[in-house]
Structures are given as C-alpha cells and as structure tokens.
Amino acid sequence: MAIYLDNAATTFPKPQEVIDAVSRCMALGAVNAGRGVYPLAHEAEKIISETRSLIRDLLNYNNGNVIFSPSATIALNQVLLGIKWSSRDVIYVTPLEHNSVTRVLENIKQNYDVEIIDIPLCSETLEYDLKETEQLFFKKPPKAVVMTHVSNVCGLITPVEEIATLAKQYDSTVVVDGCQGGPLVPLEEPQELVDFYIFSGHKTFYGPFGIAGFVTNGNIGLNPILFGGTGSHSELLSMPEEIPFRYEVGSPNIVSISGINQACKWIKKIGANNIAEHDRSLLAYATRELEQFDNLKVFVNQELSKHLGILSFIVDTYTAQEIGMILSQQFEIATRTGLHCAPMAHRFLGTLSHGTVRVGFSYYNTEDEVKLLIDAISTIVA
C-alpha cells in the first residue's frame, strides 16, 4: 500500500527503535518476568518496571499505578465491570464512544438497571455544552462519567478536565478512554480528576499490538474480573490485593512491553506535542482542501485545535465504502470506511446507514501524501 492513512486503527509504520526492541527481546530476552530468580528474568522485570514509569510520566500521573492488559478493550472491561455498581446508578458518556465502552455499559445496564445519559454535544458545531452538562449533573448526579479522550470517528477532543471537574463535585468516578489521545494530548492534572485512564500501545503510543492497560490514581477500588496466576502471592486462592498484580493475570507480554518501552522513549525524544502538532497540521490542510468540494461533508469543529489527526467525511454521490474501495484500488491509499466500531457516534452524526470515510494521520505521513489524497478525491468527485 503506497499511502497508509488508517492510523486511527493502528499507527503504521512503527518507529525503527520499536521494531528493533521487539526483535531484540525475542532474540535475547523473551523470558517470563516475575517468575524466576535468574538474570534474564530480573532484566525482564526491570524493563516492565521502567515501562510503567515511562507511561505514567507521559500521561502526567505523578503517583499513579500502571496496569497492563493485552488490549484496551480488555482494560476497559476490567475498569467498567470492576466498578461496584448499584441499581439506578447514573452513568454519563460522550455520544462518540467506541463499542469497547458502549457494549460493556450495555451489559452493566442489563445487570444493574443503570441509566446511561449522553453528555450534551451539538452535532452541527461539535461543541460540548458544559453549562447544560452542569445542569444535568445537578438534576441527576453521576455515579460515573466515561469519556473518550479523542473520538476515533472524527478526532474531536473531549474537554475531559472541564467535564471531570463538574463530575468530581458529586464524587463521581471518572474514566477516560485514551486510546486515540494519550500520550499526544496529555491532561494537565489527571491525578485528581481522572480515576482511570485507558491507553492502547498500538495506536497513539506507536508501540506494538498486544500491550495496553490503564493508569489509576488508586482512589477507587475495582473488583478483578479475571483470575489466575500472577507470579506472586501464589499461596492465595483469591487474587492478591497488591496492585498491579490484582488486575494482571497470566504471563506478562515482555515482547510487546519492550516495544512500548522504546516507543515511549521515541515519543519523549520527538516530543508528544510535536507529534500532535504534526498530525494537526495535516488535518488542517486536508480539512481545508476537502471543504472546497461542494458535494462532500467533513465532520469537524471549526476550531481545528479541538481535533487530533483523525477526520471523517462523506460524499453525496458515493457511499463511504465505495470511496474507500476506489481510494484503495485506483490510488493505493488506505483509509477506513464504515462505522469504525462506534455506531453511537454515527447515529449522532447522522451517518449510521453507511458510515464515513475516516482518514487517520501519524507522524510518518507527509503533506505530499495528503495532496495525493486530495487529488484522488478530486478525481473521484469531479
């Protein structure tokens, strides 16, 4: 594929340092950490422990605990199903959540009869209404607020800190799905406001598949949802109380952890802000150009600084799938079409029937590539 613009699905390519770390680990040190007393096992433990602090650092948590899991979906399941729910609890979500939030909450709703309410967002301007949010919280205080940090459909950044500040007036639990945000859009003070921040290794962290997790400030206890060996406290029949082991079952994925370890160092070297600014400048360029076409609609807030590098668009005369196919087959440009596992977002944007064409930028994309995309779209819609 000549041009890869499906970076919201997974960033590709990965930094060379990440590729090297993964193969080095496979060749020289892929042993089971936390279960042996020999040097390679100690080395693996050191990498894991260093990676926890790199992630904590990049996400701006001073003292948080980093808990690893094989995917963000599993991390979200652990956090959401681990919260101690009661019947008629009220949960607020953004209208843009991914299925790895909505399906889990639907399951909780069926078991606990909780109420799920959308945080007010204008579908035309893509502007959150914080005043109305405040009033809603007053009328129906939140037990929990669950927010995608950056929409995987349209790249809109949720004003997490503002909404979390309102929610904390009611001692609400705050969960942020940071799969498309962290560590590129770091929160200023997540420690007090965000109880659980979910991250994905293979997306905006530029790491490999197979490593994700969440950071917690430790204020809210979770029931573990998975049970098994932890390499520690093996005499217990129940899961140990000690964090992170309470929520980390099975052999740690040292290969992927070695990869995300180097990815964190690469991000620090380039600067998370520089990566975000690069993605945003491509987004601004693409949006400005796409908005020139009469029969094409881009789903953006006019303040493009409220987006990261993901945009969605539709064309009057073709379905999203048709555009995606033509881009792939005639122009060798990889985009993603359809619902992007976020049907609620599409219902909200009015695109549920066919979804949108989604373009996701990464640090490795260039303006020339965006120009080729625009030229291709121009040929298609002409």
Ligand X SMILES: Cc1ncc(COP(=O)(O)O)c(C=O)c1O
Specify the stretch interacting with ligand X by CB under 6 A; choose among 65-73, 215-223, 266-274, 363-371: 65-73
CB of 64 or CB of 207, closer to ligand X = 207
Query: Do residues 60 and 189 make contact, with C-beta atoms less than 8 angstroms apart?
Result: yes
In degrees rounded to 5, what are phi and psi of residue 97? -70, 150
Contact between 279 and ligand X by CB under 6 A: the answer reads no
CB of 31 or CB of 257, closer to ligand X = 257
Contact between 148 and ligand X by CB under 6 A: the answer reads yes
**Cα 158 off chain centre by:** 12
**Cα 342 off chain centre by:** 12
Please tell me the count of residues contacting ligand X according to CB under 6 A. 12
Judged by CB under 6 A, the residue of 11, 100, 256, 337 near ligand X is 100
CB of 41 or CB of 91, closer to ligand X = 91
* CA–CA dist 309, 370 (Å, integer): 12
CB of 75 or CB of 315, closer to ligand X = 75
Bridge partners, 66 (sequence order): 215
Q: How far is the CB of 342 from ligand X (least distance, A)?
A: 7
CB of 246 or CB of 340, closer to ligand X = 340
Query: Do residues 203 and 179 make contact, with C-beta atoms less than 8 angstroms apart?
Result: yes
CB of 101 or CB of 377, closer to ligand X = 101
Judged by CB under 6 A, the residue of 177, 195, 279, 369 near ligand X is 177
Tokens representing 189 are: 């003070």
| Binding residues among 325-364 for ligand X as defined by CB under 6 A | 341
* CA–CA dist 66, 245 (Å, integer): 10
Q: How far is the CB of 213 from ligand X (least distance, A)?
A: 11
Judged by CB under 6 A, the residue of 11, 51, 60, 73 near ligand X is 73
Task: Indicate the SS3 state at residue 304.
Answer: helix
Specify the stretch interacting with ligand X by CB under 6 A; choose among 67-75, 110-118, 185-193, 284-292: 67-75
What is the full DSSP assignment across 132-183?
HHHHHHHHS--SEEEEESB-TTT-BBP-HHHHHHHHHTTT-EEEEE-TTTTT
Say which residues have a Cβ less than 8 Å from residue 140's Cβ, sequence separation at least 6. 90, 115, 117
Say which residues have a Cβ less than 8 Å from residue 49's Cβ, sequence separation at least 6. none
CB of 144 or CB of 179, closer to ligand X = 179
Q: How far is the CB of 71 from ligand X (least distance, A)?
A: 4
Specify the stretch interacting with ligand X by CB under 6 A; choose among 33-41, 46-54, 70-78, 184-192: 70-78
Contact between 204 and ligand X by CB under 6 A: the answer reads no
Judged by CB under 6 A, the residue of 71, 102, 158, 351 near ligand X is 71
Contact between 152 and ligand X by CB under 6 A: the answer reads yes
Please name which of 189, 175, 182, 158 lies closest in space to residue 58, comparing C-alpha atoms: 182
Helix segments in the chain, DSSP class H: 16-28, 39-58, 72-82, 99-112, 130-139, 160-168, 190-193, 254-270, 272-290, 320-331, 343-349, 367-381
CB of 14 or CB of 98, closer to ligand X = 98
- Residues in contact with ligand X by CB under 6 A are 71-73, 98, 100, 148, 152, 177, 179-180, 200, 341
